[in-house]
Amino acid sequence: MPEDTENSEKKRTRSALRLWAGASQRAVSLGLACQILAMAGWIAIAWGIGHSVAAIAAGQPAGPGLPVAAAGVLVRGISGWLGDLLLARAGQTMVNAARAEIFETLSKAGAGWLGGADAGTRTAQIIDRTAKLEGYAARWLPGMRLAVTGPVIILIAVATQSWLSAVLLLVSVMVLPVFIWLTASETAARAKAQQAALDDLSGAFQSRAAQSGLIRAFRGIRRETASLEDAALQLRDRTMAILRVAFLSTAVLEFFASVSIALVAVYIGFKLLGVFPFGTGETLTLAEGLTALILAPEFFSPIRKLSSLHHDRADAAAAASMLSDWLAHRSDFPVTKRPPLESAPVITFDQTALGWGDGKTAVSDLTFKALPGKVTTLAGPSGSGKSTALLALIGRARLTGGEIRVDAHTLQPGESLADSIAYIGQTPWLMEGTIRENIAIARPDAGPDEIKDAARQAGILDFADEGRGGLEQDLARFGAGLSGGQRQRIALARALLRNAPILLLDEPTAHLDPDAEEDFLRKLKDLATDRTLLVASHSDTLIAASDEVIWLQPQLMPEDSGC
């Protein structure tokens, strides 16, 4: 990846993390305060145990040591519990902030991104990815701050008992930042690779599961199973790569921490026995030595914890990088809706050029007028841009040249007439539920008679007869069990119920038999009444029945154009 792109991606990731974590700052700070209090509890425990053991060893009563230690246990227990609670909330707040922003941005971007057949997959990806942000606010942010403040507090407490033990701890901790930085950079790259492998596997699995019948029919089960196995093996390798770094980093950290604690223990032991060979100028009592010794492991505890939290940071960074990339991609192409039109408009394409944001031209130099009350049909070979021209009116395809006018208004790039349009695509989308519910979705406030009337006009009552439950008949998921023509009729009923001034039909007769097509063509003129009707079609009979036909040509590919 070029350095500039990499830097701007890193910057975008960091600012996304900062923005989403902002919502949880209060809970993070309170949670951190509780963790520091828990650490103070540990200091009280160490002091209490050290002093009471020393007093008992000297043949005296335990004194204030025991109640101080008991108070320390209480403080540590309560503040630890409260801290966990607050930090769990901080994590959830960050996830919610990210989800809210993503869904808001994407919904503003129009139906394009979250619509269509893979809407479920994408929504699941957003939910999974944002869930990975939880550890950033709940564990990484407080863990990082505690790794700085915690050791300083413990170091001061140790220094009040034995300054030389504090110096030993300080020297041994100096090597750790370099090591932690090395681990962090390794983990981040590998976490990103692992998430990409996870995406590949889930994408491959979902597409194979959806097409399992087709795969079986083409005897491709073994081949597809092997490709899924490959994707799973890749995920396993990348997960193992992460685990290797994790195990190695933990082992090295534990080694340094153990050596350092051992040094402190050896020094305190020799000093208390009076056999320490060098003059340090420090006099050490049993109570001070024990307190310092009990505190020493706690000095490394936040740093140890931080090293195990790198995965939270790396997972969150990888998730934020992908999410912010999606958002940036979307905001390149914002869609704004025009208010609903009062009546059917004259739509003019004037030397219009359209594309899909991939640099290629899907339609160029398209000029025509669609008049209210007339059937205007875009015809031409597959790939010539008929659907693209229709989708430009709802802001899906990009306007890259010329103009589209709606009456006197010139549409700006990304401007959508969705609120004035009823659109029937090539593969109408149906949801689980009754036929009535599937029609009513076009206008949820429509009355039963209006729905029935739309169903009758669209010819639904022919197949949804009363004997089979009529409009209350349940449809399976995605309308499984209906023919293409039956789906098309439900979509038509929706369009009729919506009664929008512009009606866009993409290949409306593609799934109809000749009788049904003839029947549909008879309705076509009615559909055009008081509407601007724009149709995309290959059908010769539909073309012949149209008032106006505009022929589109496929765009030349760059390699075709050079002779």
CA–CA separation, 442 vs 497, rounded Å? 7
Q: Which is nearer to ligand ATP, 384 or 420 (CB)?
A: 384
Question: Does residue 386 belong to the site contacting ligand ATP (CB under 6 A)?
Answer: yes
CA dihedral of 334, 425, 128, 433, whole degrees rounded to 10: 130
- Measure the CA dihedral 376/381/385/389, to 10°: 10
383 binds ligand ATP (CB under 6 A): yes
Binding residue (CB under 6 A) for ligand ATP from 49, 418, 536, 550: 536
Binding of ligand ATP by 5 (CB under 6 A)? no
Residue 523 or 538 having the CB closest to ligand ATP: 538
CB-CB contact of 155 with 299 (8 Å): yes
Give phi and psi for 487, each to the nearest 5: -65, -45
Q: Which is nearer to ligand ATP, 314 or 392 (CB)?
A: 392
- The residues in 75-104 that bind ligand ATP, with binding defined as CB under 6 A, are none
Give the separation between CA 52 and CA 55, rounded to whole angstroms.
5
The residues, ordered by sequence, that sit 6+ positions from 2 with a Cβ below 8 Å of its Cβ are none
Nearest by Cα to 130 from 89, 104, 98: 98
- Whichever of 52 and 384 has its CB closer to ligand ATP, that residue is 384
> Do 527 and 533 meet the contact criterion of CB atoms below 8 Å apart?
yes
Q: Please choose, out of 34-42, 228-236, 385-393, 430-438, the segment that lies near ligand ATP by the rule CB under 6 A.
A: 385-393
72 versus 112: smaller Cβ distance to ligand ATP: 112
> Mask of contacts with ligand ATP, 452-481, x by CB under 6 A?
------------------------------
Q: By three-state DSSP, how is residue 543 classified?
A: helix
Contact (CB, 8 A) for 548 and 376: yes
In the complex, the smallest distance separating the C-beta of residue 196 from ligand ATP, rounded to whole angstroms, is: 22
Other C-beta atoms closer than 10 Å to the C-beta of 430 total 22
Please identify which residue in the block is written with the tokens 């076509």: 524
Interacting span for ligand ATP (CB under 6 A) from 22-30, 32-40, 382-390, 468-476: 382-390
Distance in Å, CB of 358 to ligand ATP, minimum: 6
444, 446, 407, 442: which is closest to 424 by C-alpha?
442
How many angstroms from the chain centroid is the CA of residue 9? 16
| 358 vs 515, beta carbon nearer ligand ATP | 358
Site for ligand ATP in 343-362 (CB under 6 A): 356, 358, 362
Number of residues binding to ligand ATP, judged by CB under 6 A: 12
* Of the candidates 309, 316, 191, 315, the residue with the CA atom closest to the CA atom of residue 253: 309
Considering only residues 125, 161, 307, 384, which one is a binding residue for ligand ATP as defined by CB under 6 A? Answer: 384
Q: Does 417 interact with ligand ATP (rule: CB under 6 A)?
A: no
Q: Looking at beta carbons only, is 79 or 388 nearer to ligand ATP?
A: 388
What is the nearest approach in angstroms of ligand ATP to the Cβ of residue 561? 15
Instruction: Report in angstroms how near the CB of residue 352 gets to ligand ATP at its nearest.
Output: 13
Amino acid at 448: P
Residue 367's CB is within 10 A of a number of other CB atoms, namely 12
The residues near 514 (Cβ < 8 Å, ≥ 6 apart) are none
Nearest CB to ligand ATP, comparing residues 359 and 562: 359
Q: Does 388 bind ligand ATP (CB under 6 A)?
A: yes
Of residues 123 and 553, the one with the C-beta less far from ligand ATP: 553
Take residue 10 and report the two structure tokens written for it: 């890193």
- Contact by Cβ (8 Å): 460, 435: yes
Beta bridge partners of residue 503, listed in sequence order: 422, 533
Which is nearer to ligand ATP, 187 or 387 (by Cβ)? 387
CB of 313 to ligand ATP, least distance (A): 35
Position 382 contacts ligand ATP (CB under 6 A): yes
CB of 188 vs ligand ATP, minimal distance in Å: 32
Can you tell me the distance from the alpha carbon of 153 to that of 352, in angstroms, rounded to the nearest whole number? 69
Closest CB 430 distance from ligand ATP, rounded Å: 20
Give the binding site for ligand ATP (CB under 6 A): 356, 358, 362, 380, 382-388, 536
